[in-house]
C-alpha cells in the first residue's frame, strides 16, 4: 500500500526551518528598540502590503517566513517595543515565547483530564504559583483564559451560579465609572439587561466611592432588586487608579455580596513590597482577574481568573455531551471551569517564564517599571506646559496640556490629540489618549522589562520637542 505523504517536511528540513524562524525572531528582537513603534495606515495601504490570492500551489515555508518578516513585521504595531507607552502594554519575553513554541510544537489538548492530564496538572501547578505570587488563597479554583475580558466573564458567571439565575431578572452589579468595559460586555453575554450594571461614581483620584456604593445597594434592595456582585479595580486601564479594596471587602462581607477584583493590569504588582501594600485587601476577593500577558511578560493571549469557590465555578460551566462520558469525574476537567472545550496549552508560556526566571527576577523588573514611571512623571511635570491628571498610583502617567489664557477646552484637548498623532508619526514612541472627568488626557505607561531609563528620557524629550 502506498504510504500517505505527511504535511511535515523531513527531519533535517524541519530543523533547518526551525533554526531559520528562530534566527529571524532573534534578529527582530535585537533591533527592536531602533525600529518604529507604530504607524497609521488605511485598510487599502495595508492590504497592498499583505493581501494576495489564495494559493492553489503553496509557496513553501521559507518563502512564507520571508513574506512575514519583510511585508508584515515592518508595518505592525510593536506592543513589546521599549517605547510603546500606549494602552496597557503586552511586552512578552523570550522565555514566554519559548513556552509558546513548546505549546505550538507539541499541541496539547487541555480541555479535559483524559485529553491532557500532564498539561492539565501543570496548569493546576501554575495556577497555584500565580495565587502565591499575588498573595491570593491557593486552595480555591481557577483557569487560564485568553485574556482579562474572558476572565471577568468567568467570574461573573460563577457569581450568577452562586446567587441563582433569578438574578437575571432583578440582579444588580456595581462597577466603578473607571472600570473596564469588559464587565458590561460580560453582563450582556450572560443575558443581563443594560441597566443591571450600575457605574459607581469616583473621587478626585478616580477611585470608587464606597459611600455611594453602600447607598445604591440599600436603595436597590429597598426597590425590590437584588444586588449580588461588586467589581473593584486594582489598577484601572485609564490611570492605574486603585479602588479602596479593604473598605469594599468589608462592605461586601457585611452585605453578603460577591466581591470581584479586576487586577488584569495591576495584580502582578504584588510581586513587590510596594505593590503588596498598594493592593492590600485584594486577597479577600471571591474572584480575581490577573493577566499574565501584561505584567508577567508572557505572549499575548493569556489571562487568568482565580476563585475561592470551585463549586460555583463548576456549576456555571459544567455541561457534558454524550461523547464525553469517559472523563474522570474526580479530576479537574477545565471544560467545566470555563467556556472553552478545546483549549490550547497556554499554560506553557507562563510555566516556562516562572520556572526559568523565578519570582525574584520578575519582582526586580516590576520594581524597575514603578521607578521609571515615577521618572516619567517627574520629567513631564518639569515642563510647565503640562499638568499631571494625578500622581501615578501604579505605572500609568496620565497628563494633559495646560490650558492657555483664554483657550477653550475644545482647543486645549485638540492639542493633546495633535501631540499623540505627532509622536505616532515620528515613530519613536507611542502614547494613547483617554478621557478623565470628561476631559482629554494623554497616557504614558511603563510596563516592559526592555524599557530603560534612557528610553524614558528619550520618549519624554520627544514629547517636549513635538509639543
The string of DSSP codes covering 195-245 is GGEEEE-B-TTS-B-HHHHHHHHHHHHHTT-EEEEEEEEBS-TTT--B--H
Average pLDDT over residues 132-138: 96
Longest dimension (CA), the chain: 87
Which among 152, 192, 149 is positioned nearest to 172, based on CA atoms?
Answer: 192
Alpha-carbon distance values, 286 to 125, 141, 212, 228 (Å) = 20, 11, 21, 12
What are residue 288's DSSP bridge partners?
261, 306
CA 433 to chain centre: 18
Does some domain include residue 286?
yes
pLDDT tens, residue by residue, 6-40: 999 999 999 999 999 999 999 999 999 999 999 99
CA 372 to chain centre: 20
Average pLDDT over residues 353-364: 97
Average pLDDT over residues 56-80: 96
Number of domains in the chain: 1
Residue numbers of the domain that contains 190: 98-355
Euclidean distance between CA atoms 69 and 28, whole angstroms: 9
The C-alpha cell that represents 409 in the structure block: 477646552
Does some domain include residue 412?
no
E strand or H helix at 398 = strand 396-401
Is the confidence at residue 5, as pLDDT, over 90?
Answer: no
> What is the SS3 assignment for 435?
strand
Which among 163, 157, 149, 343 is positioned nearest to 141, based on CA atoms?
Answer: 157
Global confidence as pTM: 0.95
Does some domain include residue 152?
yes
Q: How many CB atoms lie within 10 A of CB 326?
A: 8
Does some domain include residue 116?
yes
Does some domain include residue 364?
no
Helix axes 117-134, 347-381, angle to 10 degrees: 30
Does some domain include residue 374?
no
Does some domain include residue 115?
yes
pLDDT tens, residue by residue, 418-439: 999 999 999 999 999 999 999 9
Does some domain include residue 433?
no
CATH of the domain at 246: 3.40.640.10
Q: Would you say 73 and 24 are in contact if contact means Cβ atoms under 8 Å apart?
A: no
Q: Would you say 297 and 143 are in contact if contact means Cβ atoms under 8 Å apart?
A: no
E strand or H helix at 11 = helix 11-30
Amino acid at each position: 500500500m502506498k504510504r500517505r505523504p505527511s504535511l511535515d517536511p523531513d527531519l533535517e528540513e524541519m530543523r533547518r526551518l526551525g533554526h531559520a524562524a528562530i534566527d529571524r525572531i532573534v534578529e527582530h528582537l535585537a533591533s527592536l528598540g531602533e525600529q518604529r513603534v507604530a504607524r497609521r495606515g488605511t485598510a487599502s495601504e495595508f492590504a497592498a502590503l499583505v493581501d494576495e490570492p489564495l494559493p492553489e500551489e503553496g509557496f513553501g515555508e521559507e518563502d512564507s517566513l520571508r513574506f512575514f518578516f519583510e511585508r508584515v513585521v515592518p508595518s505592525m504595531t510593536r506592543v513589546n517595543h521599549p517605547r510603546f507607552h500606549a494602552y496597557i502594554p503586552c511586552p512578552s519575553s523570550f522565555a514566554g515565547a519559548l513556552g509558546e513554541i513548546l505549546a505550538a510544537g507539541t499541541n496539547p489538548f487541555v480541555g479535559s483530564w483524559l485529553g491532557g492530564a500532564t498539561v492539565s496538572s501543570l496548569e493546576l501547578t501554575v495556577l497555584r504559583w500565580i495565587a502565591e505570587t499575588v498573595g491570593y488563597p491557593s486552595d480555591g479554583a481557577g483557569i487560564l483564559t485568553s485574556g482579562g475580558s474572558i476572565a471577568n466573564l468567568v467570574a461573573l458567571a460563577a457569581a450568577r451560579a452562586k446567587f441563582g439565575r433569578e438574578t437575571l431578572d432583578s440582579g444588580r452589579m456595581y462597577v466603578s465609572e473607571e472600570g473596564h468595559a469588559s464587565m458590561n460586555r460580560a453582563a450582556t453575554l450572560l443575558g443581563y439587561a443594560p441597566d443591571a450594571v450600575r457605574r459607581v461614581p469616583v473621587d478626585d483620584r478616580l477611585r470608587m466611592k464606597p459611600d455611594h456604593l453602600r447607598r445604591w445597594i440599600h436603595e436597590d434592595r429597598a426597590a425590590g432588586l437584588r444586588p449580588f456582585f461588586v467589581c473593584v479595580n486594582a489598577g484601572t486601564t485609564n490611570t492605574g487608579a486603585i479602588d479602596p479594596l479593604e473598605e469594599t471587602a468589608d462592605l461586601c462581607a457585611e452585605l453578603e455580596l460577591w466581591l470581584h477584583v479586576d487586577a488584569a493590569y495591576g495584580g502582578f504588582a504584588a510581586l513587590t513590597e510596594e505593590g503588596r501594600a498598594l493592593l492590600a485587601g485584594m486577597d479577600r476577593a471571591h474572584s480575581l482577574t490577573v493577566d499574565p500577558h501584561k505584567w508577567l511578560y508572557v505572549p499575548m493571549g493569556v489571562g487568568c481568573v482565580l476563585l475561592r469557590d470551585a463549586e460555583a465555578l463548576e456549576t456555571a460551566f459544567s455541561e457534558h455531551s454524550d461523547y464525553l462520558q469517559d472523563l474522570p469525574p474526580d479530576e479537574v476537567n477545565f471544560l467545566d471551569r470555563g467556556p472553552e472545550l478545546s483549549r490550547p496549552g497556554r499554560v506553557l508560556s507562563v510555566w516556562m517564564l516562572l520556572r526559568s526566571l523565578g519570582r525574584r527576577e520578575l519582582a526586580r523588573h516590576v520594581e524597575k517599571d514603578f521607578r521609571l514611571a515615577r521618572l516619567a512623571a517627574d520629567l513631564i511635570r518639569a515642563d510647565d506646559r503640562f499638568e499631571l491628571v494625578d500622581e501615578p498610583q501604579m505605572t500609568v502617567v496620565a497628563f494633559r496640556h495646560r490650558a492657555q489664557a483664554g483657550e477653550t477646552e475644545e482647543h486645549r484637548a485638540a492639542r493633546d490629540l495633535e501631540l499623540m498623532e505627532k509622536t505616532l508619526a515620528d515613530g519613536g514612541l507611542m502614547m494613547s489618549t483617554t478621557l478623565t472627568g470628561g476631559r482629554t488626557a494623554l497616557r504614558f505607561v511603563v510596563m516592559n522589562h526592555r524599557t530603560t531609563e534612557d528610553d524614558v528620557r528619550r520618549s519624554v524629550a520627544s514629547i517636549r520637542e513635538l509639543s
